[in-house]
Amino acid sequence: MSGYDEWFFSRRAPPPRKGVPLKTMPKRDGGRCSEAGAPRLLVTALAIGVAGFGPGLAAAHSLKEFEAALNEREAYAQIVHYPAAPFALKDADDRPVKLSDYRGKVVLLYFIYAGCKDVCPLQSQKLAGVQRDVNATPMRNRVQFVAVTTDPVGDTPSVMTAYPRLHGLDTANWVFLTSGKEKPAATRELAEQYGLKFTLTSDGVQMHGVVTHLIDKSGNLRVRYHGLKFNSVNLVAHINALLNDIH
């Protein structure tokens, strides 16, 4: 777990549990997180195509209202609002990919490495379920799922190409990115810019926390879902809310 994640959870006593509201947290550098000026939008169960997120989220008529309702329902969601750290990486076919390439889409970003035998495969499998829910709706072409490897040396192009098939991910709107073996520390440094530290141990294992990031259509980081116990339906609803937030 990164220092930032330890800071985040140390201020929640007892540990997060269902039904405990989570207050909006500041940026790591102490900057302010503004939610002011969020335009009106409509969030409904029919628009999302899934049921079960309850009247609080369904009744929201703006992104600000939605996130306020989410704060009451989802203990593992940390609402933020500041520019997402940019990146210029490449996919398994050596094609360059930048965060700015996805401007106009909602981006779900997370950091993993294929050799991880612990939480990384569990995170990918959970997000594969989120992707299936998203792709069963008109949101499919408006959301990009991005995994970034923190092991650019071990995660060779062949490993990266095989990964989505092994974890039920749809490459239509999911991509695995790397900095390449020439820059072995670059993606771990990028993860730190998102508040997540991957620490190499002597046996080659990386110690790290688990965070799923949502980036809005304008390139702003809007929420960090911590761990694996968050309600996937809330995440899908959040994606829908960000897509309907008209600037």
Report the pLDDT value the prediction gives residue 38, as an integer from 0 to 100. Answer: 33
Alpha-carbon dihedral angle through residues 32, 33, 39, 42, given to the nearest 10 degrees: -160
Kindly report the CATH number assigned to the domain that includes residue 7: 3.40.30.10
Averaged confidence pLDDT in the chain = 83
Identify the burial level of 157 via C-beta atoms within 10 angstroms of its C-beta, where 0-12 means exposed, 13-18 middle and 19 or more buried. Answer: middle
Q: Which residue has the higher pLDDT, 245 or 33?
A: 245
Tokens of 241: 């809310």
- Mean local confidence (pLDDT), 1-6: 40
d(CA 151, CA 7): 25
pLDDT over threshold 70, residue 6 = no
Q: How many residues are there in the chain?
A: 247
Q: 122-137 pLDDT, tens per residue?
A: 999 999 999 999 999 9
Structural domain harbouring 144: 3-243
Tell me, what's the pLDDT at 171? 98
Higher per-residue confidence, 35 vs 162 = 162
pLDDT top residue among 8 and 59: 59
Please count the structural domains in the chain: 1
Summarised one tens digit per residue, pLDDT across range 144-172 is: 999 999 999 999 999 999 999 999 999 99
Dihedrals phi, psi of 177, to nearest 5 degrees: -115, 155
Give the list of residues 6+ apart from residue 105 with CB closer than 8 angstroms, or none. 142, 143, 144, 217
Phi-psi category of residue 144: left, alpha or beta, with phi > 0 → left and psi -120 to 50 → alpha: beta
pLDDT of 225 strictly over 90: yes
pLDDT single digits (tens) 92-121: 999 999 999 999 999 999 999 999 999 999
Between the two ends of the chain, the Cα-to-Cα distance in Å is 35
Q: In the chain, pLDDT over 70 holds for what percent of residues?
A: 75
